[in-house]
Amino acid sequence: MNTTIRELLAKFGKLPVSVDQVADDADLYAVGLSSFASVQLMLGIEEAFDIEFPDNLLNRKSFASIAAIAKTVDQIKDSRKVA
């Protein structure tokens, strides 16, 4: 999953550094992720993982790092299994 997230981050994140240089737990906003880029990233993640972010997960914390994004995607997938 992290590989796909990194590919999407490289495509949509418009970071000033290579995604390969970003640790999984690095603060993406500190690295240069903008609010606009995070929306584009979210849309790419929704398409790639066939999910939809619920309103309660549309926040800065959900996109704070690659690890946070992976955790959020897992949470959304798990909630679909229960529903």
| Segment 3-36, tens digit of pLDDT | 999 999 999 999 999 999 999 999 999 999 999 9
The DSSP call for residue 32 is T
Phi and psi, residue 8, nearest 5°:
-70, -40
CA distance 50 to 28: 23
What is the pTM assigned to this prediction?
0.94
CA distance 73 to 61: 13
Domain 2-82 has CATH 1.10.1200.10: yes
Per-domain boundaries in the chain: 2-82
